[in-house]
Copies of this chain bind each other. A is one copy, B any other.
Amino acid sequence: MTERDVPPKPHTVTIYDVARRAGVAPSTVSRTFSRPGRVNAVTAARVRRVAAEVGYRANPVARALSTARTNMIAVVILDIANPFYAEIVRGAQAAAAAAGYTVVLADAQESDWLERSTLERAVTAVDGIVLASSRMSDLAIRMISKQKPVVVLNRGVVDVPCVVTDNARGARLALEHLSGLGHEHVTYIAGPEASWADGMRWSSLRESAAKLSVRLRRLGPFAPDVRGGVQAAEQFVAQPTSAVVAYNDQLAIGLVRSLITRGIGVPRNVSVVGFDNIAAADLVTPGLTTVAAPLYAQGITATRHVLTMIEGGRDRTGQPAVLPVRLVVRGSTAAPHRSLDPPRPGRGVTTSSP
């Protein structure tokens, strides 16, 4: 019934078909598409017309073989279900598209092994790679970075170009906000041990805590998702503080939800601030105060960077590019409720942990 049952011979139209029908050499057809300007305007026009008529479509594979460029870059993410990556991917896609590149998304599903094997296959087929958070070792990353242009997001790896957010400033902003509100004792809900960002956030928090005279405590590590936040709540309620900073928004959201379920008010009894500013941060109740990361910009920046490297630009393996952050204040933070605040009143004075 449909026409598609008929043609058993899907002979692809090649450059030669067009060349013959247009009365020019194959190379001219090629040039018309890949090197416009190096061909007479009217000839080019004719070629294009014929190409359109016969429905010619350049075979990207053949082109790739001869140019050694696939015009694809791989963006590796840890978990496609994590909303954190959505904006990053969008940015990457936008930057890539603008340069004529296609993004191949690889979901590592939080598995170091899967990430490596996926990359193993991909590395040969793409021109560059953006690692949007990686579970691989620095060594492994450095290794593949020797084969293809690689830039790492949200993590510092020696000898490999990186783009990170200003975790130090973010941590400071969060703590200053809390301190300004009157909180003197805050808990940090840590993310995965292997997370570079977690380390940065914690150490910056410690520094700021010292300066601001707030006592800081750490709980964790926890999985960086809502479930992890629920677990964190269990430990937290044992000896609560009036404020908490969580490794990321999902952890914070899980914590808040669990706290509320237990009858502990947010921000009435506990103020919570997260990191990242994922879309959900604005949807939960109360809205989550969080350190906003320029997700889209991260994707753009990282991708532009690989693109530059691909085009021959020197991989300025210097300091990582650091993107600015800002504090988005929503409903999850408020001045402490004296009655429930200091677990051990009269004792809390200054200093953070050593």
- Nearest CB of chain B from residue A242's CB, rounded to whole Å: 24
Q: Tell me if A89 is interfacial: C-beta within 8 Å of chain B.
A: yes
Q: Which residue of B lies closest to A62 (CB)?
A: B65
- Asked if B146 and A81 sit within 8 Å, CB to CB, the answer is no
CA distance A2 to B142 in the complex (A): 10
CA distance A138 to B257 in the complex (A): 43
Interface size on A, residues (CB 8 A): 44
Q: With A2-B159, A159-B2 given, is the CB distance from A122 to B146 under 8 Å? A: no
Contacts of A61 in B (CB 8 A): 61, 64-65, 70, 124-125
| Beta-carbon contacts under 8 Å, A50-90 to B | 57-62, 64-65, 70, 80-81, 83, 85-87, 89-90
Q: Tell me if A104 is interfacial: C-beta within 8 Å of chain B.
A: yes
CA distance A125 to B260 in the complex (A): 51
- Nearest CB of chain B from residue A179's CB, rounded to whole Å: 31
- Asked if B285 and A3 sit within 8 Å, CB to CB, the answer is no
Given B4, B86, B109, B159, which contacts A90 in the complex, CB threshold below 8 Å? B109
| Beta-carbon contacts under 8 Å, A109-135 to B | 109, 118, 121-122, 124-125
Q: Tell me if A140 is interfacial: C-beta within 8 Å of chain B.
A: no
Given B93, B109, B260, B317, which contacts A107 in the complex, CB threshold below 8 Å? B93
- Nearest CB of chain B from residue A87's CB, rounded to whole Å: 8
- Nearest CB of chain B from residue A252's CB, rounded to whole Å: 13
Contacts of A317 in B (CB 8 A): 2
- Asked if A107 and B121 sit within 8 Å, CB to CB, the answer is no
Q: Tell me if A226 is interfacial: C-beta within 8 Å of chain B.
A: yes
Q: Tell me if A283 is interfacial: C-beta within 8 Å of chain B.
A: yes
Q: Tell me if A279 is interfacial: C-beta within 8 Å of chain B.
A: yes
Q: With A89-B80, A105-B104, A105-B105 given, is the CB distance from A60 to B124 under 8 Å? A: yes
The 7 closest A-B pairs by CB, nearest first: A105-B105, A81-B86, A61-B64, A65-B65, A60-B125, A80-B86, A61-B65
**Interface residue ranges, A against B (CB under 8 Å):** 2-4, 57-62, 64-65, 70, 80-81, 83, 85-87, 89-90, 93, 102-105, 107, 109, 118, 121-122, 124-125, 145-146, 159, 226, 254, 257, 260-261, 279, 283, 285, 317
Q: Can you report 25 A-B residue pairs in the complex whose CB atoms are below 8 A from each other?
A: A2-B159, A4-B145, A4-B146, A59-B65, A59-B124, A60-B125, A61-B61, A61-B64, A61-B70, A61-B124, A80-B85, A80-B86, A80-B89, A81-B87, A81-B279, A89-B107, A90-B107, A102-B104, A102-B118, A102-B122, A104-B105, A105-B107, A226-B283, A254-B283, A257-B283
